[in-house]
Amino acid sequence: MMPFKKLSVLSGAILTVFFSVVAVPAMAHGGGGVSGGFLSGFTHPILGWDHVVAMVAVGLWGAFLGSPAIWILPVAFPLVMAFGGALGVLGIPVPAVEAGIAASSVVLGILIAGAARAPLWLATLIVAVFAVFHGHAHGTELPEAVHPLTYAVGFVCGTGLLHLLGIGLGFLTRLPSGVIAVRVCGAAIAVIGASFLFGVI
């Protein structure tokens, strides 16, 4: 079990890096030459709260489930997201994309709040299904990007950072009252997701 002091330092470091990185691209986002490049791709998931809560939830649920889910879920999400992105680039329609993105936060939040201990294969399947919606939404934008490759690299990096944030918060489960804190985070994610969902239905 990781001592409380080390957990605090780890969580603080992750949050510091997260907000520091967010602050820099946010100022440059509207600058010339950024659109479609790395910074645009990097900030896209971070500045879109519907994506933020879902991607943090993936890392959070993986950390809640423990090893090997803590690493498999955050790896499976971007891999399948790339598949969804390819569908978007090719113009292959996926029904109810925006609703699927919002529903991902609702479902993952409920699973975390309910302390759901799903088998690894089922947890991976759930995450993969929602990753298709997230990927498709961004894949449809890639053909118009000035630098689609650098945009994609930036998007993957931004997504990975959000997963790491969720994993860092998930380490709270190693504390005596940490499980309660994580479940409260899950409930908050579900409520935020529900507000997004009501906005698109």
Statement: the pTM of the whole predicted model exceeds 0.85: no
Instruction: Give the best-scoring range by mean pLDDT among 22-36, 90-104, 157-171.
Output: 90-104
Q: How confident is the model at residue 173 (pLDDT cuts 50, 70, 90)?
A: confident
Output 2 or 87, whichever has higher pLDDT.
87
Contact 50, 101 (CB under 8 A): yes
pLDDT tens by residue, 88-117: 878 899 999 999 999 999 999 999 999 899
Q: In this predicted structure, what is the pLDDT of residue 120?
A: 95
Domain positions in the chain are 48-200
> How far is 57 from 62, CA to CA, in rounded Å?
8
Q: Exposed, middle or buried by CB within 10 Å (0-12, 13-18, 19+), for 165?
A: buried
Count of alpha carbons within 13 angstroms of residue 39, beta-carbon side: 15
196: exposed, middle or buried (Cβ count in 10 Å: 0-12, 13-18, 19+): buried
User: Is pLDDT at 142 greater than 80 in this prediction?
Assistant: no
Provide mean pLDDT across the span 14-43: 49
The neighbour count for residue 68, using CB atoms within 10 Å, is: 11
